[in-house]
Structure 1
């Protein structure tokens, strides 16, 4: 799908160097893609890697090697990576190199082998959307393990997000002038937020309200607190005899919108039980003044906190601050000397989130403040796919830069969906793994088995292995190179035959298709990466509809 870049490299020469490898294509009048594959590098990036040197050097070497003397307008660049962080860095480095060379070849954006469903869309949004936020990209492709025609709609929506911002001139609106010095696109460096510290006299363990690898904060209403069983389920808690317990993908904290009545015993009990298992409770300071909550975290706007020293409401033990990124410099400078537990970064409608966010992180560096920053994004009456794609684009662009310690997604959707989308964002941004990661290609004429069916079968059997990456590749043409991030690979080697990989090494060849999934599971076990599914988890899955309906 065609997009339009808002920034293009300035040309220092009227002659554009040619790409010799594309000479045959030029003679035929066809487009030629120069597409270095990061997976073919001898040192592949890890899932949580910072800087991606393979992508960088392949981009640079390919550019230098392709310099020639003939003019061509039939070439474009496509950098392939299934890791959105690597993909974003590779394109930025490529664009910088083209600036230096005076080139303006089009860029074709895509996260290769993104997978299927919400995860595939989220990874694509983080990669493609982040670059569109930067004004980079001319054509895009969302690569899904789904029917080909289903790839078009997320492409349209990602393009629409960028077009909408451009048409509304969001990128040029009211964020005060500032100079950015915190990000270096050539070398990744994550901003480390200070996790909560326990203080003498605390009645709860405050250290668990945020997670070291990225936090999820869920927005709840006072009404939902009155139905605790359904709320616990939506927050991803395990339960036993009505008591909640944190699980791998449980919300770390909740943000209560509104006043909890003092006489609502069910709500008060639910709050206390969640706090006892390490789920933090955040509420607006004014609501806490009206109806205190023991051990709560009081939330102030920066303007409120800047007017006078923060005085905690009765029962509150810490405070947090909401910033918007478009405050006046004098107000933003007030952060210096403050000691909030965390910052909620909520950018107003009509203001560029990427620019406002970067301004906030610049101010935090200037103020020497290391408070964790939670990206708070609110969606209106849109479809669920829009929530995934817009969140991936507008928040992912900061997370892949290492700027942000978590996310809070708010909107008129079921709480469980918003929570799983939040965890999907963190995993797609290579921050926090809560489930198995899949790298799976879209179907093409070379595919040697039913990709969609096999991918679904594999995910049902192996989806409970966080920290494990499994590649499902239809053939051996691109498969081994494009699955370099994977711990294990399931690759079509011949009709009816599957090759299994550990990393980049093939360890079993020509396994009959009907035996291959079990062989993959055994391979994972043999490499000590397997854990059995929790019996309670399996029983809970069968009870989900009833739990959700309560």
Structure 2
């Protein structure tokens, strides 16, 4: 137990929470000060706000206005516009005037990186400015510097002198500010002292925030964005903890996973980071960063936010936490015993739910990555091949491939002709009775479904004694992730090391919301090191649409399970794209280029490719990518291996081919169409 956590549990509440959340079991918004942004204030006394960012060149006044209107009508309550230089900052006034003339009063936010002069000008024009402390007063040279206390203090004084003019202008004009740290663009100074860590991210913001407070300027919002949801969640938690420890004001939080990507993968990654924080009452405005037109971001952000509108009224009580047996700021997987291929050092497993789908024809397994080839009479499996098939009260009508095991309900298993290769799913009562009778369990692997309420002393004693049990945990509580997290805490406190599969069932949930909810519920647990497998189930409103529709749903659920594991960095099965959402700085068609790169490389397993529209979102923002494709000028691309530039000024027409050659040079390229034999 960490000392700061022990010290944190001293409040007079029924539950004394860690400082980073108002409660770890009840749903409560974190109390913040109010930040005034035009006529749309932000903070815990107001709804969680939706925002996005334009992608049009800021000098294109008409285009910027038209896109801003589309964003506003899609649900954006703040519109952010890049101002990379003074001329763009000046043109913000023209954009603002035209929007106001058309009757739109939505606050505008100027996005600033390297140019304090642009920030100081924009602060006189728009309602809010966003600065990045990693590059507002610094230029990144990727150098390690050994600072003495005196030399570091001198650096802070230099920053203060550069930052003070903006603070004073913001105070004079009533302009709000976001101090927005990005994991990938930490300054050399921060990296040299704190490293590439959540601690460094937090300290980067606090250096600027302390100056604001010294000047009695409090109209400030904070953010800790990263393309890695795990790092992002840890940084926000640590930020809130540090604000409390230092006695700083409880500032509102802007939530976002930067460079999340596109399509379902981008939504999964965003929900995993943003949703995990929303579950604990953190966050006052949300931006979902997708490589799509910005008007498509707002509905996703709103769907994430709307889940919590009535959470407090619908949530069932969860036993309070009085201590945490794990560190919420550092990832460490829960220690478990190995049972078959669960737990221990094994990657989390994917269980496909076919309990409501007939399993009589071999083709039904295509949806979960297993393919039967009649001519060679062989099975093949792709990278998203499910590990287990749960068929419930039925049994498969054919022999499954060797790499796919069938799980059936215990009552079916008892009379099954193959008690060795088919595995049982038991209720708690069935499990305890079978133990009492000393018969009726599989010799190697049994699945036992249980809830937090089921975890009695008797069940815990049985789990501690048996070495052939994998738990399957579930809940019907609307406050699902916190209840399941509470269950895992109980397992740790009781020193139970059985592996555990997380089961989530969604009923009548719209298709667009399913990946958001599942990524939050399961991904939030994975971020804290909890979970050795995923079992997702979903039923749709109305008729199913027949077998084809059922199999398409199975394919979506299977891909979703693997996508959640990938976003949580716990099981890498496919290429990951860290692509920025585009903005007025972008130097090529980001959506088209991302699609081209994806088309050529999506068969590669475990390769991370960063696709950045400009040098601002360049090597830093794609911090943990294996390869980078970065715009450095009109139709000019720089290619990176990690954070090292390998090829400079490559013509855009040849850049994708050159990227593939770079991957080939590292012996990481495989030709498309090659499948793994079962």
TM range (shorter): 0.7 to 0.9
Q: Residue 201 of structure 2 is aligned with which of 58, 64, 79?
A: 58
Q: Residue 232 of structure 1 is aligned with which of 365, 371, 374?
A: 365
Q: Does 1:77 align with 2:77?
A: no
Q: How far, CA to CA, are the matches of 2:636 and 2:281 in structure 1?
A: 44
The 8 Å contact of residues 257 and 283 in structure 1, kept in 2 or not, is answered as yes
Tell me by how many angstroms 1:121 deviates: 0.1
Tell me by how many angstroms 1:29 deviates: 2.2
Q: How far, CA to CA, are the matches of 2:455 and 2:365 in structure 1?
A: 40
Going from structure 1 to structure 2, the CA distance change for 1:259 and 1:139 (only over 3 Å counts) comes to same
SS of 2:467's partner is coil
The farther-off stretch of 287-296 and 482-491 is 287-296
* Partner residue in 1 for 2:326: 183
Q: Residue 515 of structure 1 is aligned with which of 629, 654, 674?
A: 654
* Partner residue in 1 for 2:298: 152
CA RMSD across the alignment: 2.8
Deviations 1:389-425 (A, max 9, x none): 0011111111011111121111135211110010000
Going from structure 1 to structure 2, the CA distance change for 1:190 and 1:437 (only over 3 Å counts) comes to same
Q: Residue 177 of structure 2 is aligned with which of 19, 32, 40?
A: 32
* Partner residue in 2 for 1:251: 386
TM-score after normalising by structure 2: 0.68
Tell me by how many angstroms 1:332 deviates: 5.2
Q: Does 1:115 align with 2:292?
A: no
The farther-off stretch of 138-147 and 359-368 is 359-368
Q: How far, CA to CA, are the matches of 2:577 and 2:386 in structure 1?
A: 23
TM-score after normalising by structure 1: 0.84
* Higher radius of gyration, 1 or 2: 2
Going from structure 1 to structure 2, the CA distance change for 1:314 and 1:366 (only over 3 Å counts) comes to closer
Going from structure 1 to structure 2, the CA distance change for 1:268 and 1:419 (only over 3 Å counts) comes to same
Q: Does 1:130 align with 2:271?
A: no
The farther-off stretch of 62-71 and 494-503 is 62-71
The 8 Å contact of residues 180 and 358 in structure 1, kept in 2 or not, is answered as no
Q: Does 1:423 align with 2:559?
A: no
Tell me by how many angstroms 1:30 deviates: 2.2
Q: Does 1:88 align with 2:233?
A: yes
SS of 2:282's partner is coil
Tell me by how many angstroms 1:439 deviates: 0.5
The farther-off stretch of 231-240 and 369-378 is 231-240
SS of 1:309's partner is helix
Structure 2: runs of 5 or more not aligned: 1-26, 35-159, 189-193, 540-549
Question: Within 5 A, what are the aligned runs for 1:433-512?
Answer: 433-512=572-651
Going from structure 1 to structure 2, the CA distance change for 1:504 and 1:154 (only over 3 Å counts) comes to same
The 8 Å contact of residues 189 and 401 in structure 1, kept in 2 or not, is answered as yes
The 8 Å contact of residues 253 and 285 in structure 2, kept in 1 or not, is answered as yes
> How many residues are paired up?
497
The 8 Å contact of residues 254 and 280 in structure 1, kept in 2 or not, is answered as yes
Q: How far, CA to CA, are the matches of 2:251 and 2:356 in structure 1?
A: 54
Tell me by how many angstroms 1:244 deviates: 2.5
Deviations 1:339-389 (A, max 9, x none): 343111111x23522232222222222333222111100111222221100
Going from structure 1 to structure 2, the CA distance change for 1:208 and 1:32 (only over 3 Å counts) comes to closer
* Partner residue in 2 for 1:46: none
Q: How far, CA to CA, are the matches of 1:434 and 1:424 in structure 2?
A: 9
Tell me by how many angstroms 1:331 deviates: 5.5
Question: Within 5 A, what are the aligned runs for 1:161-176?
Answer: 161-168=307-314, 170=315, 173-176=316-319
Tell me by how many angstroms 1:80 deviates: 1.7
Question: Within 5 A, what are the aligned runs for 1:369-388?
Answer: 369-388=496-515
* Partner residue in 1 for 2:64: none
Going from structure 1 to structure 2, the CA distance change for 1:78 and 1:422 (only over 3 Å counts) comes to same
